[in-house]
Structure 1
Amino acid sequence: MNERIRHLLPNDRMKIFKEKPFFEDAETVLTLLYQPLISIKGVAVFQALWKESNFQQSQTSISHHQMMNMLNMTLDEFYDARKKLEAIGLLHSYKEEGTYRTLYYVLQRPFSVNRFFEDPMLSVLLEHHVGRDVYLRLKKRLVNVPSLPTNIQSVTHSFDDVFTTIHPNHMVDNQLIEEEESISIQTQLPLEWLHKMLTQQKIHAQKVLTQANIEYIEKIIKVYDVDFLELEKALIWAINEDQQFDRKEFQDMCKDIFYKKHGSVPPRLYSKASQDEQPTNKQSETNQNTEQPKSKEGQLIQHFNNITHRELLEDFSSSGRASMKEVDMITNMMEEHGLTQPVMNVLVDYVLKRNGNKLSKNYLETIAAHWSREDIQSAKDAMQIAKREHHMYETWKQKKSQNQRKQQRSKEVLPKWFEEERKNKRKSTQPAQEPKKQINTGESQKKREELEAFIKNYSKTKH
């Protein structure tokens, strides 16, 4: 508030101008693409200034108090929204001191849909604010890509194919001059150092450090907080075998650097005032990382704290290269479940060792979801829960093996010789009972003969 009082008061006047006519899709772009970055108040202020500029005469002005009443917001809220508009590139502000202080607001044309998604900084920040799924849906809905047949070939002639404005004898000289001038591009990057570094790596620096690539690099390293020393590693990584600068590879490498330094929360737009109020333990973490632990477990924890999952996959690979598909999968999973980089490193290491150096997405995501619910925040906690789960798995595996052996014993077929031996043992016990059976059989035979004789004699006497 003290800052706002020094720079803006309710009685200060405002004059509003539009630098260029806006694109037809300006309303859509402001609402769906800019709003997640600068908040609904930022968009409301811009739209109010936009509408006012359509009716305001060049010699007239209104007070900020009038604008406050129109927007139903305090002057502090207006000033905060104005700063966001200036920072995102939608507004330029100028002041004129006099009887009344007058602010000149020059509205900048919002990007078109296509230009917004082509801008590396805005598109990356939007993806981190709304999530990858929403980002891709917005891009699919808003970006109009002409659907031409796949079997056609371009026969369009370019300007250089048809025209030339210089004599052919001077073509080479002009090209050399053009290359020399390209080095003097206006940028904050240390171009001389980058040229020297790429040349030492036997990379054609002029081919990589074009004006478009330099602008892209500047925006990406600003989003992902990459310093110049880290830039060297990211830049070399992003150059492919054909010495072409791969922007996707560069962004992924910068993203890894960001997560390694700041954890799993993706880069977003924060107000510096609110950021300063939040306590940080970065200094204490740095001190802990510089101390060399003595125990093996401590060294392993420090290792997981100081690397990215890309570097971890490179260590497991015999070629020293990580699969970009796996790197993207792990990065998205880490963001989705809110796991820190050290915790994700432990998880990847655990799954690779448990699963025969294979990264199963379903298996990895099941454990990631579980650790997220358990609120695992450090490599030490992740290692402890991994050990506990591994012990439970080994115990369950041992019990299962024992049960299987019991079932196998009950179902196994006895050998033939064992059955014959058992029958022989039974027969050896039977002879002791045979005499009794024979006696019983003889007595019954004798009785039967006597009965037959009696019946025979009885029939004779009767006749």
Structure 2
Amino acid sequence: MTMERMKHLLPNDRMKVMQQDVFFTDADSVLTLLYQPLIGREAVALFQFLKEEAAKQVADASVSHHYVMTMLNMDLDEFFEARKRLEAIGLLKTFKESLSYTTFYYLLQRPFSAKGFFADSMYSVLLEHQVGQDVANQLKKKLIQPRKLPDSVQQLTTSFDDVFTTVAPKEEAENPPIKQDKQVEESSLPVDWLKKMLSQQQLQPQSILTQSNLIFMEKMIKIYDVNFLELEKAVMWAVTEASTLDRKEFHAMCKDIYYKKHGTVPPRLYRHNAQSEENPLSNQPKSTNASTPNGNISKKEKLIHHFENITHRQLLEDHSSSGVASMKEIDMITEMMETHGLSQPVMNVLVDYVLKRNQNKLSKNYLETIAAHWSRVKITTAEQAMDIAKREHHMYQQWQQKKQKQTKKSNEVLPKWFKEQKESNKKQPAKQEKSADEIEKDRQELEQFIKSFQK
């Protein structure tokens, strides 16, 4: 053994220890009770020592193997054997660097959790053969089987909905949420209604309303305050051609619904009936226009009402001949709206303005520049956004006209004879004015010339 070890490892060789993954909380129990029967206490002791060394070792520092031998009271042959066992069981990876001196890099691997250990067919069988089936079952029961509550207990746990809401308290008081009866214990979603709705659309409910999808949908509608009618729209939007649920699309639609109802303040946890000292929604001016147009209203008021009652997704869909909006553009606009704190109506005006000015192209830099400007001047309503867009467009037209005139003047081509005449006039001396006698003499000569024709 000594001769073989000397070919690979010497006491003065340096070592560095690293741990990349966070260990499970039951790592010590698993190492002692499950791994130790398989690899021995020396190997487990070495692993635990290396774990402590990795946590305390200074970056780029190293220690000799002689130091480890002293600390663990084992010779280098015993260390070498324990290291190989750790490598073989999957708890350690070893790397070697040969420069002016040899350095070993020991990379610790995360041990299984107790549940993962017994779920692994190889390790669980090896343990059972090592300690016997009865002991293995006792360890399994001790480490992973949950303790059961008595049948006589009554649950008093408070639910999420009883304590928290993602809508600001003041707004919630004005529009109290409608309590929804749970149809099943695991989910508050109207599963039967969703199945019927999907079947009517010739879709396959079983591949869309999976258990994991239902849990995901329930969390999203709770966060984004989506009611059951809005849920139907979100589900239909997110269903793919393969009759599956695109979670990213569903999430995006829920965000659209939320921002349309509650403005730009993102969802956050509020306590029910709690009066916030600074309600983020209180500073947003309410629209002076009715939510539903009545009577004779102007074209501008109709347009304001339109911008106040759609999302930017719907706006992009209206501008698209296919009726489908780009998810990349939707995500870009949503992120920009959140970054600059613009309300949904203001963002709608901005998107519409940029599309019309830029030949139906959405330039991110152009959009970002205007969004930052409108945020600085505190544009909060669709009407304000329309007014500033109109002013800026008028200023832009005036600037363009002035620029075109200057360009036309600078590019105008003059005839060659005009230039020559102009140069000639500059070279000729200025004529001197005639005296009074010379003028009188010229007049008399002119009269004599006329009289000669009258005879």
The TM-score with structure 2 as length reference comes to 0.50
Q: Choose between structure 1 and 2: higher helix proportion.
A: 1
The TM-score with structure 1 as length reference comes to 0.49
